[in-house]
Amino acid sequence: MFLSAHYAGDDLSPKFTNGEYWKKVHGPVFMYLNSSQDGSDPSLLWEDAKVQVMMEKQSWPYDFALSEDFQKTEQRGRISGRLLVRDRYIIEDEDLYAASAYVGLALPGEAGSWQRECKGYQFWCQADADGSFYIKNIVTGNYNLYAWVPGFIGDYRFDATLTISSGDDIYLGDLVFEPPRDGPTMWEIGIPDRSAAEFYVPDPNPNYVNRLFINHPDR
């Protein structure tokens, strides 16, 4: 299932105007099936699958696809830069590194619109400890650059529309994200990192429990 409104509702249903031209490549799709002949520790199969994942990542984009709509490595582009965070309520006179920020390209739109966008391509990476990011193998086209930074609320968007052409290697330099604020933080529950990791999950009603998660160690 490549497109679905199941979790987010109608916002994730692609919408088309009368006569609108649209084309998008999904795939190739790879399925890896491994097995153990001697019934050994099944976790070894999981570790083997993770090794295969890394091999596939190194091979992508694949060179065997014959469709002209599936661009090869040399037909795609790259983009890099460094993202900083400017929050004067934390440090008054210097910018912070956007460590582990998620930085990506998606169709042009408003800040945060990438979360509901499904008609175009998206390309993402996670920044290094100093906020440096490098996105490669980008399909040619027009994009906005978006980001969000664990520990800070709000979404970043680079103002200019970026045009990626075949062979491009674009360096954007230092970009600065200023999280929205009306004043200093008075108190906070959890961390704005788009996860519920800091929240305790209580025991579920036994009538409705998913038995796959009984005695799960991560509460």
Q: Which amino acid is at 211?
A: R
Contact 194/101 with Cβ under 8 angstroms?
A: no
How many domains in the chain?
2
pLDDT on residue 133: 98
Residues 146 and 45 in one domain: no
Domain membership of residue 196 (yes or no) is: no
Closest listed residue to residue 95, CA positions, set 186, 179, 172, 191: 179
Residue 49 sits in the same domain as residue 101: no
Do 186 and 100 fall into the same domain? Answer: yes
Residue 218 has pLDDT above 70, yes or no: no
The whole-angstrom distance between residue 24's C-alpha and the CA centroid of its chain comes to: 19
Verify that 97 and 36 share a domain, yes or no.
no
- 77-113 pLDDT, tens digit per residue, is 999 999 999 999 999 889 999 999 999 999 999 999 9
How far apart CA 123 and CA 144 sit, in angstroms, is: 11
The residues, any chain, with a CB within 8 Å of residue 120's CB and separated by 6 or more, are: 24, 106, 107, 141
- pLDDT higher for 116 or 204? 116
Q: Let me know whether 91 and 35 are in one domain.
A: no
Checking if the pLDDT of 45 tops 80, the result is yes
Rounded mean pLDDT, 41-59:
92
Can you tell me the distance from the alpha carbon of 124 to that of 145, in angstroms, rounded to the nearest whole number?
10
170 found inside a domain? yes
Of 129, 127, 132, which is closest to residue 101 (Cα–Cα)? Answer: 127
CB 151 within 8 A of CB 85: no
What is the greatest pairwise CA distance in the chain?
62
Which pLDDT does position 8 carry in this prediction?
Answer: 77
Residues 102 and 144 both lie in one domain: yes
**Could you report the per-residue pLDDT of 136-168, keeping only the tens digit for each?**
999 999 999 999 999 999 999 999 999 999 999
Query: Are 90 and 179 part of one and the same domain?
Result: yes
* Chain segment 168-203, per-residue pLDDT in tens: 999 999 999 999 999 999 998 888 999 888 887 777
Residue carrying the six token digits 């099936």: 33
Residue 137 and residue 41 share a domain? no
Our CA dihedral for 63, 67, 68, 70, rounded to 10 degrees, sits at -60
Q: Which domain holds residue 88?
A: 73-191
- pLDDT at residue 162, rounded to an integer: 98
Please state the rounded mean pLDDT for residues 6-19.
Answer: 86
Compute the distance between CA of residue 68 and CA of residue 142 in angstroms, rounded to an integer. 19
- pLDDT, tens digit, 9 for 90 and up, residues 64-87: 999 999 999 999 999 999 999 999
Give the DSSP letter string of 170-206: EEEEEEEE----SS-----SS-SSSS-TTS--PPPPT
What does the pLDDT average to over 26-51?
88
Peptide bond into 28 cis (omega under 30): yes
Distance CA 135, CA 123 (A): 7
CB 87 within 8 A of CB 152: yes
What does the pLDDT read at residue 219? 60
β-bridge pairing 132-138 and 77-85: antiparallel
